[in-house]
Structure 1
Amino acid sequence: MLTSLSIKNYALIDTLHVDFNDGLSIITGETGAGKSILLGGLSLILGKRADLNSLKNTDQKCIVEAAFDISDYHLKSLFKDEDFDYESQTIIRREILPSGKSRAFVNDSPVNLSSLQLLGERLIDIHSQHQTLELTSNEFQFQVIDAIASHDKVLQSYKEELKKYKTLQKELKELLVFQAEAIKEHDYNSFLLNELVEAKLVDGELETLEEEYETLNNIEGIKENLDEAHHLLSEEEVGALSTLTTLKNTFQKLSGFSSKYEDLFRRINSSLIDMDDVFSEVNILQEHLEIDPNRLEAVDSKLKMLHNLMQKHVAADVSELIKIRETLEEKVSITENLDDTIQKKQLEIESKTTELNTISKTIHKKRTEVIPKLKEQLESILSSLGMPNAQFKIEATYSDTFFTNGKDELSFLFSANKGGHFNTLKKAASGGELSRIMLAIKSVLSKYIKLPTIMFDEIDTGVSGEISNKMGDIMLQMSKTMQVFSITHLPQIAAKGHAHFKVYKEDINNITQTNLVKLNHDERIVEIAQMLGGVEMSSSAIAHAKELLN
């Protein structure tokens, strides 16, 4: 509920602060006193776009701040979704700067207008005779029926399953599009894959083959050099092994004379061992060196194939070709298995369709059960509001289409006159009738769900005293479970309020200002008496005012 409202530098308001309680609060004032200004300031809190022309003093910023007790509103999930700081006593502030920029805050954290509007819809419902379009919308009419049906959990379950159903449909559509494209590419991908499979790719083989190719391609020169090395190592008189052996024997004889000679002997002996190993290696290389033109041709052919494949696939090495092969394998495999995947997805959709049909039938059954109850209550209330012949024809027809809230198509028809034709509310009801229908609907709704604070803005215009008295009774009844405001010109309604506020203008230093003040009991008598008989109050008007208040 709205607990307080502060407005600074807005239109004709210099500074205004007022506290509110629960129950029914009445706001009265002469025409032009500034009730619309008050609503305009409140609308800023609810996310309405700001207008620089609203600033009273264009050199100062405008500030509108409202405090709400939201402990019973179940808004924690909304605060979490919108990233607001949740407080059971929430403060919303709106600022319009002289530059024209506007800022909004929820519990001192900056928020954007769309988020503020979303929150505002859950806090205050401002309703006037000119704001009845909501009543004529199919979405709102469903909300009324569903509130009375009290099947929130079933509806939520339907919406969750519908979301899954639509996801499955989207996935199936994507699969079918992919399949159509994949079929076009399948043959070409299979050809590329077969090429790479037949290449029998091995990571690192390019370097090995290039080395083998260099050896085979230069085998004559290699053989010649190996023979020369063998000769230099093994020649009987001057070969390296023979020379080192002689040198070793010489220093072996000297090693007994000094450690220096012994050290040289060890080094020469070590060199001799290494040289002997080298000689063995040369022998092995000579033994395995074989001129093989066929192998050279095979290696050359494999290298050319690898280079061609690398160029074709723009790959830097064989490892990249292997990755490309794996990707092609996946594409070909997916294409070849798409029929199974699509069939599986279609079966999932069929299962989800059955599940949705079951839930939607439950929703339909519950709606058709409560429609007569809604019809009866609305017609009864409207009869008391001066529309004794008002009739509703409400039908929920089960269809073949999954809508956002079930499979029902709703026909919400109205006739104001006996024997009249039924038509949509927009065509069948006048503005005044729509206001009374909306009051009736809000009255019914307040029995079933926790409605936000509601503000009725002169919906009693053109209504007789007797009917206005009943309107006041309905608002009073509603105020038992919610906070209700009524901006009214009718004393019968004004007298029913738990609290009474007056909007008035006054001139201060030749500047007109709008103010709002809470009236005490005696002040209420005067205000209602003036509403009854004008500024020149008669004793009978005062007596009538007291009677209404009592």
Structure 2
Amino acid sequence: MLSNLSIDNYALIDALDVQLDEGFTVITGETGAGKSILLGGLSLVLGKRADLSLLRDKEKKCIVEADFKISDYGLQPFFEDNDLDYEKTTVIRREILPSGKSRAFINDTPVTLDILSELGDRLIDVHSQHQTLKLTENDFQLKLIDALADNKNHLINYSESLSRYSKVQKELEKLIDFQQNATKEQDYTTFLLNELESAPLKEGVMEELEEQQEQLSNVELILEQLSKADQLFNDDQIGVMALGTEIKSAISKLAGFGKQYAELFERIQSAFIELDDVNSQLQDFQEGVEVNPSMLEEVNAKLQLLYNLLKKHGASDILELIAVKESLAAKALETANVEENIALKTKELQELTSILEEQSLVLRERRQAVIPDLKKQLEEKLALLGMPSAAFQITLKVAEDFKVNGMDDLSFLFTANKGSDFGLLKKVASGGELSRIMLVIKSILAKYEKLPTIMFDEIDTGVSGEISNRMADIMREMSGKMQVFSITHLPQVASKGNHHFKVFKSEEENRTKTDMKKLSSDERIVELAQMLGGKNISDSAMAHARQLLN
């Protein structure tokens, strides 16, 4: 329940701090006194969007803080899921800075507006004229039936199945689209893949082929220079090998004359061994090199193929071409497997369809079971509110498609008068009738949904006299199970509250401000008398006010 509300620097409110109690609390005040401002401030801690223009002093921040006692409402999982400190008295704070930035806190932990709004929806139901219009919507009507049918867990299971169904359905549609497009592209994909597979694609192949091409193109020059080198190595008179042999022989005769000569001989001998090896390799090269025009033609063809493929696929090197080939291979494999995948997804979708149909049937049967009782409760309570001929026709039909809440099309028809045709609420019910219907629905929901607090904003609009008295009785009865607030202009409703607050305007230093105070018993009599007869209070109005309170 809401135990404290403080508002600073919001609209016409300088500073407001009120302690609130359980039971039935009424809030009254003249038109324009600021009751809507009070609701606007409360809406900020419930996660509504902030409006910078509502800062009273544009240089200061606006702070709205609300304390809620939540120990009886099983909200610990919410706090755990959102990594928040759980406190039996939870403090929600909202700050609007002059810069326009907004901050929200739950027990001093910063939170997003989405989290704030989610918690707010679990703590307080602010009923406004706008919400009365929701009464005419099928989704709201179905939620009412589901609350009575205790369908919460069944709806969760259905929602999870529907989510899987939607996911599989999208995957199947994607596969079918892919198959249709792939059929057209399959031949071209296969052609490209075959072309790449026929090419010698491996890392470094371009460098190898270009080296081969260079050698084959210059084979005569290579042979000429190899022959010249061989001659210089092996000439009997001036050849490197002959001269090297003489040098080695000369130094070998000095090796015994000292360490330095011996080391020099070893170096010459090592150099000679290396020269001998080079000479052998030179001769091997001469034997291995041959003029081969057909090999050159083959190498040129391979290089040209690779150059063409690089250009065709916009690749910068062989590695990118290999990646293109792998991608085409995967696409070809996917195309080959698409029919099998379509069959698997189709089967999965059929299984989920059966599950959803079964879950929808359970929801429908549970809804059908509570509709007679709901109809009875609605009509009996509306009769007490001056609508003795009010009647409902509530029927369910199987929908063609899966909806977010089952496979039911709901027909929720109403008539206020005997002999009149049934019609949709938004077409046949007046504003006053809608308010009474909504109050009755909220009173029924109070038995099934454990919501800490509900606030009615002038739900008694369009009614008066004995009917308003009975509406107040319903709200007071509801307050036995939850905290109930009613913003009202009617003395009959105001008199039924356990607690009575008045919202009023005053002027200080040429500035108008809104304030709120809890009325004592004597102050309540005066307030009710003014509501009955205006500012000029008569004795009869005072007597009537006392009578209402007693």
Q: TM-score, normalised by structure 2?
A: 0.89
**Whole-angstrom CA distance in 1 between matches of 2:290 and 2:129:** 106
Change (3 A) 1:422 1:305: same
Q: What displacement does 1:248 show? A: 1.6
**Whole-angstrom CA distance in 1 between matches of 2:484 and 2:7:** 21
Gaps of 5+ in 2: none
Match of 2:94 in 1: 93
Task: Find out whether 1:443 has 2:471 as its counterpart.
Answer: no
Change (3 A) 1:179 1:536: same
Match of 1:105 in 2: 104
Match of 1:495 in 2: 495
Alpha carbons 1:50, 1:96 under 8 Å: kept = no
Match of 1:143 in 2: 143
Amino acid of the structure 1 residue aligned with 2:198: E
Question: What does 1:466-545 correspond to in 2, within 5 Å?
Answer: 466-508=466-508, 512-528=512-528, 531=531, 536=537, 538=539, 541-542=542-543
Q: What displacement does 1:150 show? A: 0.8
Amino acid of the structure 2 residue aligned with 1:267: R
Amino acid of the structure 2 residue aligned with 1:524: R
Change (3 A) 1:531 1:197: closer
Change (3 A) 1:213 1:96: closer
**Whole-angstrom CA distance in 1 between matches of 2:216 and 2:24:** 104
Alpha carbons 1:378, 1:437 under 8 Å: kept = yes
Task: Find out whether 1:453 has 2:463 as its counterpart.
Answer: no
Match of 2:283 in 1: 283
Q: What displacement does 1:229 show? A: 2.5
Alpha carbons 1:66, 1:93 under 8 Å: kept = no
Task: Find out whether 1:374 has 2:374 as its counterpart.
Answer: yes
Greater alpha carbon shift after TM alignment, 444-453 vs 101-110? 101-110
Change (3 A) 1:194 1:140: same
Greater alpha carbon shift after TM alignment, 106-115 vs 496-505? 106-115
Amino acid of the structure 2 residue aligned with 1:105: A
Task: Find out whether 1:408 has 2:408 as its counterpart.
Answer: yes
Amino acid of the structure 2 residue aligned with 1:406: G
Q: What displacement does 1:161 show? A: 1.5
Greater alpha carbon shift after TM alignment, 413-422 vs 436-445? 413-422
Change (3 A) 1:300 1:137: same
Change (3 A) 1:177 1:508: same
Change (3 A) 1:222 1:546: same
Gaps of 5+ in 1: none
Change (3 A) 1:311 1:431: closer
Alpha carbons 2:12, 2:56 under 8 Å: kept = yes
Change (3 A) 1:419 1:266: same
Question: What does 1:357-368 correspond to in 2, within 5 Å?
Answer: 357-368=357-368
Amino acid of the structure 2 residue aligned with 1:356: L
Alpha carbons 2:7, 2:15 under 8 Å: kept = yes
Greater alpha carbon shift after TM alignment, 283-292 vs 20-29? 283-292
Pairwise CA RMSD of aligned residues?
3.1
Match of 1:345 in 2: 345
Change (3 A) 1:43 1:311: closer
**Whole-angstrom CA distance in 2 between matches of 1:438 and 1:29:** 23
Amino acid of the structure 2 residue aligned with 1:124: I
Alpha carbons 1:66, 1:91 under 8 Å: kept = yes
Amino acid of the structure 2 residue aligned with 1:41: G
Amino acid of the structure 2 residue aligned with 1:29: G
Change (3 A) 1:409 1:223: same
Match of 1:219 in 2: 219
**Whole-angstrom CA distance in 2 between matches of 1:10 and 1:215:** 89
**Whole-angstrom CA distance in 1 between matches of 2:59 and 2:267:** 100
TM-superposition CA deviations, 1:223-242 (whole Å, max 9, x none): 23223333322333432222
**Whole-angstrom CA distance in 2 between matches of 1:488 and 1:273:** 116
Q: What displacement does 1:281 show? A: 1.4
Match of 1:178 in 2: 178
Q: What displacement does 1:75 show? A: 5.7
Alpha carbons 2:132, 2:435 under 8 Å: kept = yes
Amino acid of the structure 2 residue aligned with 1:95: I
**Whole-angstrom CA distance in 2 between matches of 1:60 and 1:307:** 71
Q: What displacement does 1:136 show? A: 0.7
TM-superposition CA deviations, 1:327-355 (whole Å, max 9, x none): 22122222232222222222222121111
Change (3 A) 1:136 1:76: farther
Greater alpha carbon shift after TM alignment, 335-344 vs 379-388? 335-344
**Whole-angstrom CA distance in 1 between matches of 2:65 and 2:495:** 29
Alpha carbons 1:468, 1:490 under 8 Å: kept = yes
Match of 1:197 in 2: 197
TM-superposition CA deviations, 1:231-273 (whole Å, max 9, x none): 3223334322222222222222211111121111111111111
Change (3 A) 1:400 1:77: farther
**Whole-angstrom CA distance in 1 between matches of 2:147 and 2:412:** 16
Question: What does 1:256-267 correspond to in 2, within 5 Å?
Answer: 256-267=256-267
Change (3 A) 1:198 1:32: closer
Alpha carbons 1:26, 1:488 under 8 Å: kept = yes
**Whole-angstrom CA distance in 2 between matches of 1:189 and 1:506:** 82
Greater alpha carbon shift after TM alignment, 26-35 vs 428-437? 26-35
Question: What does 1:241-252 correspond to in 2, within 5 Å?
Answer: 241-252=241-252
SS in 2 for 1:419: coil
Alpha carbons 1:149, 1:370 under 8 Å: kept = yes
Q: TM-score, normalised by structure 1?
A: 0.89
SS in 2 for 1:316: coil
Task: Find out whether 1:328 has 2:332 as its counterpart.
Answer: no
Q: What displacement does 1:110 show? A: 6.6
Change (3 A) 1:497 1:286: same
**Whole-angstrom CA distance in 2 between matches of 1:437 and 1:150:** 21
**Whole-angstrom CA distance in 2 between matches of 1:394 and 1:343:** 41
Greater alpha carbon shift after TM alignment, 405-414 vs 206-215? 206-215
TM-superposition CA deviations, 1:69-88 (whole Å, max 9, x none): 34555667777888988765
Task: State, as a whole percentage, how many aligned pairs show the same letter.
Answer: 54
TM-superposition CA deviations, 1:463-513 (whole Å, max 9, x none): 454333332221122112221101234444333322221223445456554
Greater alpha carbon shift after TM alignment, 205-214 vs 399-408? 205-214
